[in-house]
Amino acid sequence: MSDVEADSLQLVQSPTLVRQLAADTIRNAILKGILKPGERLVEATLAKRMGVSRPSLREALTQLAAEKLVTITPNRGPAVAAIGWSEAQNIYELRALIEAEAISNFTSRATVENINAMRRSLQNFQRAIPKKDITQLLESTKEFYATIIRSCGNPVIGEVLAGLNARINFLRARSMSQPGRSRHSLAEMTAILEEIEHGSPHKARQAAVRHVVNAALAAKAAFFGEESKSPRPKPKKALKKT
């Protein structure tokens, strides 16, 4: 192999890739609470710590601002967005409406492959609980809902939720910070899946609304420093492997 051929195999990090990696890193730090709401994001410091150029970092921050996770104020610079309870409540109310509709529509369309994918997502969620792995908990929940949204028959629902995904994940992280909430969440999502498997759109819709309401209660408790009053789930059998 010639030197020219060897050089052609070297991995090159494109500006787009660097920007996306920077955005992902900052987003995860916000979701995990490493970067706090209202905390200023000093470009020079962040760029040095992350080993990226300031232009790439600036583009990443602009992307996060579009996701409403970062605010950029003239003469002050970027900071982590402070999502208040009023905004959070509005998001939960919208979620209850949209997700319930999506799940109701999905129930009559669900395939065996869909059901198996959702079950795998819940198995991954279950494995993440004892580890308190917030990244995996959020990823598994996202995968669970992604299966529903992709196949619910209404692509506009996916478009609406795409604009809220970052803030929904932020609120999920706050909600799951409450003692026992991740186990409650597993039981509630399992109930949604069971109603879908039973072919009951009405009951699946009810289970979806119940899940969002309980998630909102847990998030509210996190916002105001109280222990969640969400109801304890009934014991569930371990999810079967597929």
Cβ proximity of 102 and 201 under 8 Å: no
Instruction: Single out the residue of 128, 122, 142, 240 nearest to residue 192, CA to CA.
Output: 122
CATH superfamily of 85-223: GntR ligand-binding domain-like (1.20.120.530)
Q: Is 72 left (phi over 0), alpha (psi -120 to 50) or beta?
A: beta
Could you tell me which CATH class the domain 3-80 is placed in? mainly alpha
Q: What is the pLDDT along the chain (242 residues), one digit of tens a residue?
A: 444 443 443 334 677 788 899 999 999 999 988 999 999 999 999 999 999 999 999 999 999 999 999 999 998 999 999 999 999 999 999 999 999 999 999 999 999 999 999 999 999 999 999 999 999 999 999 999 999 999 999 999 999 999 999 999 999 999 999 999 999 999 999 999 999 999 999 999 999 999 999 999 999 999 998 544 444 445 444 455 44
CA distances from 123 to 46, 106, 144, 162 (A): 36, 21, 10, 24
Burial class (CB in 10 A: 0-12, 13-18, 19+), 210: middle
CA 211 to chain centre: 15
Integer-rounded Cα radius of gyration of the chain:
20
Handedness of CA 45, 64, 139, 217 (dihedral sign): positive
* Single pTM value for the model: 0.82
Distance CA 196, CA 100 (A): 12
pLDDT computed for residue 9 by the predictor: 39
Domain boundaries along the sequence of the chain: 3-80, 85-223
